[in-house]
Chain A
Amino acid sequence: MSGPLHAPRMGPIELLWDAVRSDRRALSGAIILAVFLAVAVFGPHIVGDATALVGIPLQPPSWEHWLGTNGQGQDVFAQLVVGTRVSLAIGFTVGLLVVLVGALVGVPAGYFGGKVDGALSGLANVFLVLPGLPLAIVIAAYLPSGPVTLGLVLVVTGWAWNARVLRSQALALRRRDFVAAARVSGESRLRILAVEVLPNMTSVIVAQVIGSTVYAIGAQVGLEFLGLGDVSAVTWGTNLYWAQNDSALLTGAWWTFAPTGLCVALVGFALTQLNAGFDEITNPRLRLERAWRTFLGDRGRGVERSTPVVRDHD
Chain B
Amino acid sequence: MNYLLRRLFFYASAAWTAVTLNFFLPRLMPGDPATALFARFSGQMTPEALTAMREALGFTNEPLGRQYLTYLQHVLRGDLGISISKFPSPVVDVIGEGLRWTLFLAGTGVVLSFVIGSLLGVIAAWWRRGWVDQWLPSVFSFIGAFPYFWLAMFALWWFGFTLGWFPLGHAYADDTVPGWTLEFVADVLRHAALPLATVVLATLGGWLLTMRNAMITVLGSDHVNLARAKGLEPRSVMLRYAARNALLPSITGFGMALGYVLGGSLLTEVVFSYPGQGYLLVQAVRSQDYPLMQGIFLFITLAVLAANWLVDLATWWLDARTRESAS
**Which residues of A pack against B, CB within 8 Å?**
122, 125-126, 129-135, 137-139, 141-144, 218, 221-222, 225-228, 240, 243-244, 249-250, 252, 254, 257-258, 260-261, 264-266, 268-269, 272, 304-305, 307
Contacts and interface: CB of A to CB of B under 8 A. Distances in A.
Contacts of A142: 25-26, 28-29, 33
A304 to B, nearest CB: 5
Q: Is the interface of B mostly helix, strand, loop or mixed?
A: helix
Nearest to A143: B29
B157 A261 contact: no
Contacts of A141: 285, 288, 290, 293
Interface stretch (B12-20, B47-55, B204-212): B12-20
Interface stretch (B171-179, B242-250, B263-271): B263-271
B29 A249 contact: no
Nearest to A271: B145
Residue of A130, A132, A139 with most chain B CB atoms under a 10 A cut-off: A130
B13 A131 contact: no
B14 A264 contact: no
B144 to A, nearest CB: 8
Given A138-B293, A141-B293, A143-B30, 7 more contacts: A130-B18, A130-B301, A131-B262, A142-B29, A244-B153, A261-B147, A304-B128
Given A130-B14, A130-B18, A226-B282, A265 B145 contact: yes
A194 to B, nearest CB: 31
Contact of B146 (A225, A227, A264): A264
B286 interface: yes
Contact of B150 (A132, A139, A228, A261): A261
A145 to B, nearest CB: 11
10 contacts: A131-B259, A134-B278, A134-B300, A135-B21, A141-B285, A142-B25, A227-B282, A252-B157, A257-B154, A264-B146
Contact of B285 (A130, A137, A266): A137
A305 B17 CA distance: 48
Interface string B291-303: 0011011001100
Interface in B118-144: 128-129, 141-142
